[in-house]
Each structure stands twice: as structure tokens, then as C-alpha cells.
Amino acid sequence: MILVTKLMNGNEAAALAVKLCKAQVVCAYPITPQTSLVENIAEMWATGNFPGEYISVESEYSALSYVVGAAYAGARTFTATSSQGLAYMHELLHWASGARLPIVLVNVNRALGAPWSLEPDQGDSLSQRDTGWIQLYCSNVQEIMDTVILAFRLAEEARTPCMVVYDGFTLSHTYEVVDFPNQEEVDQFLSPPPQEALFHPSRPETIQSVTDYRYLARVVQAGHRAMLQVPDALKKIGRSFSRIFGRDYFLLKETGLEEAKTVFVATGAIAQTVESFLPLLDGEEVFGYLQLKLFRPLPEKEIITAFSRENIEKLIIIDRNLSRGMGGIFAQEIRALLQGTAFRGKIFELNLAGGIDLTLELLQRGMAKVAEQKDGDEKIIWGVDL
Amino acid sequence: MGNTVFEETLVGKIEQDEFMLSGHNACPGCGAALTVRLMMKALKDRAVIVIPASCWSIISGVNPLRCLETVVLHCPFPAAAAVGSGIKKGLLAVGDQDTQVVILAGDGGTFDIGLQGLSGAAERNEDILFVCYDNEAYMNTGMQKSSATPYGSASTTTPAPRIKPNPKKDIMAIMAAHQIPYAATATIAFPQDLISKVNRAIDLKGFRFLHILAPCPQGWGSPVEKTVTLSRLAVLTRIFPLFEIEDGKRYRLTYHPSVHLPLENYFGLQKRFSSLGPREVEQARENVDYYWGELCRKSGCSEDCCRYS
């Protein structure tokens, strides 16, 4: 293993990972803050440094339609978007998962309007929770590069489309030092791109024709079972990744859970921010931290095991997203999951919806409110008080 | 109509091999079924067919049955042009250079909800053939108006007396404006013309477009045995001229009717036009004459008809 380190931002890392994975058909439509990702691919393609085809189309709807078509034919495909663009792709997200097409899509989190905003709210990707896509959330630039590579293998093995998600600007435009994988390593990890069409007119067949519940129910259940196998598949793929690249990957990342009374739970860039704040928090108390990476499917077994420790009294779940009238989406998912388990603690929600940045001062204020919260108080502790 | 009209439109023999099987799900007298039966005689087993939501989503067969002797891929309503373009690119990426990709969309999937993707694919000159079988309304859901519905037609969403007040969208002009290699109109009463235009289209590279009028007895309120007659009358009354356009510039009338039948002959067979009074028929005639005149001008037609334009 020859270690090459490079300074790059999240969008550059994703673009280079797509190149290393030898995606055969890349089709996209530009949208802030995803734009520099597709510009990077376009630049490599225009100068003969990209192994596949790159097509710039007239909308996100057509971008995902295009890769659905290319994936129907059997090609390795990639697209990327943000925010309104992901919402515009919605119909095709369902089609891709229904057809079990192993498409990899990067979504750079950005709030959905109205009003217009460029803030890194996670509502865009989380509102696609039920489209049948695997979602992997990244917390730094290294993780973006590695997760895109993992995603191609995971999508192809699970025959399920996979969305790689990271925060707009905070990760897409922030430069970090990245261990840069070389082509031989990636070729060792990922099978070569397909070289055979999945159909030919000489073998007549009709694909995705209209059907009734008897067949549709089987399609739906098969998709569900494939999803349930994703945590174990990702662990296996993660072990292979560690052997080749020397970095460990995980369904979730935990620190200090053996002793902590209070555990923070977060995703994306916020997770790494929380991790970096832990040593700076005052007092004697030992805090724990859990970063969710795989969401859809939520790794049930691993989360329940992690939170069933008797020492854990409080979970503070930090959501940079909101299901209006309910609360932070990760918080609701974890509440539901922990019902009837050995977890005996209380769950608190610190909500940063609207794209609020987490500062140390804000985290401390949130913790003070957690300490004061009584039964009957509003469930959500807001990052910004009205 | 005398026998001369039949002789005029049925010249030569049609390919005997069938690539569309009997037992399909089309209604009796379906013009869209006949359109594809003829189209497949040209495509044979050289093409995969991409179908967005439309009558053909049903006609092609309910799982696990099928009626086309080739590969058929279904896709969402607005997505056909982009999915088809992606299939072509994907096939090239995995080493299949030869298979043609043909979109088979209704007028809704072409003129309305599919127009953005169609325009995008045409502008990129994607190497696909887009075939619109036009039955002039949303027929799969029961005759709701589309922008391909002609002036004066009633529909369930433009019921009489509030008939459709606007003319049919000029999709051929839109396609010509994209300067694509080939665009042509055709209809089932002129089968050799239809087949030769499909052949012409698949011999070319780049984006190709066929606009095929496909009468629908259910929606049009016409006798099921009059489908081919209506297709012929549409051409002879000049409400649906047969022509082709190369590179968006060179227009050519591929059939010039020797008789000029009045529109009433066409309207009279269809319930959808039954509420039209003389004033509306006159308006429809003006629309047709204007369009025909423009077409003659663009194609450099030297027949007598052009003196009126």
C-alpha cells in the first residue's frame, strides 16, 4: 500500500471516486452545492481522463431517467444532485429501487424551499426515506471518497440503489487532507464494470409490465428482504475495504458508550463536530457519542445493542432536519426502534433544522436545557429560540 | 369514396412476417395496435421498445404475457426520451453497438408531460427513434384532452359545449426547430408509407421522430370498423398531412391527395365533433387551410392547391 495524500473538498473526492470506480454512464444536471462535483467529472471527461461517458441533460428528472435507462441495459451508472433536484427525481427514485437497479447517487444536502436557502438541512435526503434506496451519511471528506467506492460494491451486491449523502458546503466545499486510493486498490476491491447487455431483441421479454398484487407483493417483499441484508453485507464489504485500503468502515461509529451516562447521536458533518467537542465539555461527566452512517436500513441490531447498556441514562439526538408536527427524523426512528428493548434512559431531541451550525456554545446551551427539561415541556430543544 | 382512394393508398405488398402477436390487449378497432403492428414489420428484431404510461402500457401485455417479439421496457410517463437515451448509451457502454432503441409514446407522453425530456433528447441529438402514436387525447384513462386534441373536439375534460378552443399543438414544427436529422408524419391507412418512413428513420443516426395518427374508436366515438377509413380521411381532408423533414430544414410532402375532401366527411364519423356548428367547422377549416398552405410553402409544392395559400 503506497499512501498518497491530497488536499481536496468533498465534491472533488466524490468525483475522483466515481472515476476510480469506472462508472460507465454518468448523467447529471447542475445544482448548488453539487455543481462542482459534476464539473469535476465533466472536466475529466472532456480531457480524456474519465473512463466512462458523461452526459449533461436538461433536468434532474431526465438525469435519473437516463441512468435508469443505462442501468436497465446493464451499465455501471452514477448521478448526483441536491435539494430541489432530488425532490424532482422522486418518481424515478421509486422506479430505480422497484427495478432493483444498482445506481449510485450522491446527494449533497441542501434545504428544500420555500423559502430559497443554501443551508445544509437534511430534509432533502430524508424526505426520500421510503423510496427504497440505501442511504449512507458521511461526516468528512475522507469518508465521502471511501463511501462512494463502498457504495458501488454495496449497490451491485445488494442489487439496490444507493445514495451517498453529505452536507452542502460544510463538506462539499471544505478542503481536507485525504488518503487517496490508487486504481489498483480500487480494482482489487470492486469488480470490473459490466461488459454484457442484460437483454437483446433476439431474446424477447417485457420488463416492468403492468401486474397485480400477487406479483407486486413479491417484488415489494423481495426489495425489503434485500434491504434487511444490507447491514451484514456492508460489514463484510467493510472488512474487505479495511484489508485493501487500511481504513475501517462501520454501520455506526461509537465512542465512550461503556461508561457514558449521556450519549450524543448525530449524522453527517455534525457527527464529527460533536466528536471533536467531547473533550471540551466541562465537568467530570463522561460523554459518549454515536455516529449513524447507515440509514435505510437502520442497523437495528447494532443500535439496540449499543443503547442497551445499563449506564446510559440520556440520549441527546441531534437532527439537522425536521418532520413538521413530529420532530427530528433520526430521533423518531431511534425512539421507535428502542421501544420494548433494554434501553431504560430518556431521549432528548436537539433540533438544528434550517441548517443551523453546531457550535460548542450551542451544544452547551442545549445540554443545560436537557438538564432543566421537565415532563410536559416541549419535546424538542431548538437550536434557535424563536 | 370510390375505389380509386383505396387504390391510391394500397400500393405494393406488405411484409408478411409478424413481430406483434395476436392476443394483445387493445380495444377493437385500435389504431395504436395497427400502428405498432406495421412499425414492427420494419423494426423486426433489431430494436428494443421503450414505453411510457400510455395505451401501450396495457396493450403490450399484463405480466407475464407479452405481444411484441422483442424486448419491451416500461418507464414512467415523462421519462421515455431520457430512459431511451440512457438505454442506448448503456448498451454502447457494455458493447452492444447495433440494437436500435425506439420510444413508443402516446400523444400525452409526447406533446404534454413528455415534452421536456423529448426536447432535451432531441437537442442532444441522442441516437434514438421516438415514435408518437397520436390518438389525440388521454385514451388509456378514457378520453381526457391533451395538447394534441384538435380544435373543436369534445373530451371528458373539455365536455360540450365547452369544446377544446385551441388548435392542436404543432409538434412537427417543434421537432423541426430542434434541427434533428429526420422527422415524419404517417398513419395506418398508408401502410407502405408508414413502413418506409420507419425504415428510413432506422437507417439514420441521431434523433429521429415519427408522428403517427392512430384513430381511437373508443375515444373518438367512431365505428370500430372505420378506423382505417378515418385515418385515410384525415389525410384526404388535409387535417393530417403526410410529410417529412430532414435536418429541420428540408420539407417534403410524401403524399399529395388528388382529391380535397371536405372536413365534414371526417368529422361526421366521430361523436367527439358532434356538437360543432357551422361556425366552428369553418374555424376548423381555416386552421387546416392555413397549416396546409404553410406546409406547401415550406415544401415548395407546385400543385394547384398552393394557389390558395
Residues A217 and A133 in one domain: yes
Neighbours of B12 (CB within 10 A): 8
CATH code: domain of residue B271: 3.40.50.970
Residues A299 and A156 in one domain: no
| Amino acid in position B180 | I
* Burial state string for B198-227 with b = 16 or more CB within 10 A and e = fewer than 16: bebbbeeeebbbbbbbbbbbbbbebeeebb
Considering only alpha carbons, which residue of chain B is nearest residue A94? Answer: B76
Residues A189 and A265 in one domain: no
Residues A206 and A161 in one domain: yes
User: Could you give the count of Cα atoms lying within 13 Å of B261 in the half-sphere of its Cβ?
Assistant: 22
Question: Is B190 a domain residue?
Answer: yes
Among A225, A244, A263, residue at a domain's last position: A244
Give me the residue from A74, A95, A201 closest to B90, CB to CB: A74
**Residues of chain A with C-beta less than 8 angstroms from the C-beta of B82:** 57, 61-63, 65-66, 69
Does A156 touch chain B if contact means CB atoms closer than 8 Å?
A: no
Residues A284 and A319 in one domain: yes
Q: State pLDDT tens for residues A88-134.
A: 999 999 999 999 999 999 999 999 999 999 999 999 999 999 999 99
Q: State pLDDT tens for residues B196-206.
A: 999 999 999 99
What's the mean pLDDT in A186-197?
97
Alpha-carbon distance of A237 to A153, in angstroms, equals 8
What is the pTM assigned to this prediction? 0.96
Contact A57 B61 (CB under 8 A): no
Q: State pLDDT tens for residues B265-305.
A: 999 999 999 999 999 999 999 999 999 999 999 999 877 66
Question: Is B309 a domain residue?
Answer: no
What's the mean pLDDT in B72-101?
98
Number of H-type helices and E-type strands within chain B: 11, 8
Residue from A201, A302, A217, A197 nearest A251 by CA: A302
Domain limits at B54? Answer: 3-276
Domain limits at A137? Answer: 4-244
* Chain B interface disruption, residue of A24, A54, A209, most B CBs within 10 A: A209
Alpha-carbon distance of A11 to A5, in angstroms, equals 16
Contact B66 A203 (CB under 8 A): no
Q: State pLDDT tens for residues B222-235.
A: 999 999 999 999 99
Residues A240 and A259 in one domain: no
Q: Are B146 and B108 in contact (CB under 8 A)?
A: yes
Q: Which one-letter DSSP state was computed for residue A190?
A: S
Question: Does pLDDT of B7 surpass 60?
Answer: no
Question: Is B59 a domain residue?
Answer: yes
Retrieve residue A374's grid coordinates.
421537565
ipTM: 0.96
Contact A65 B82 (CB under 8 A): yes
| Amino acid in position B204 | L
Q: State pLDDT tens for residues B28-56.
A: 999 999 999 999 999 999 999 999 999 99
Number of domains in chain B: 1
Residues A330 and A285 in one domain: yes
Q: Are A262 and A314 in contact (CB under 8 A)?
A: yes
Question: Is B11 a domain residue?
Answer: yes
Question: Is B283 a domain residue?
Answer: no
Number of domains in chain A: 2
Q: Which one-letter DSSP state was computed for residue A194?
A: P
Residues A126 and A200 in one domain: yes
pLDDT on residue A2:
62
Residues A185 and A261 in one domain: no
Among A183, A217, A244, residue at a domain's last position: A244
CATH code: domain of residue A25: 3.40.50.970
Alpha-carbon distance of A329 to A319, in angstroms, equals 7
pLDDT on residue A249:
84
**Residues of chain A with C-beta less than 8 angstroms from the C-beta of B78:** 61, 91
Question: Does pLDDT of B2 surpass 50?
Answer: no
Alpha-carbon distance of B302 to B256, in angstroms, equals 11
Reading phi first (left if > 0) and then psi (alpha if -120 to 50, else beta), residue A35 is in alpha
Question: Is B108 a domain residue?
Answer: yes
Residues 6+ apart with CB under 8 A from A339: none
What's the mean pLDDT in A292-303?
96
Among A210, A244, A278, residue at a domain's last position: A244
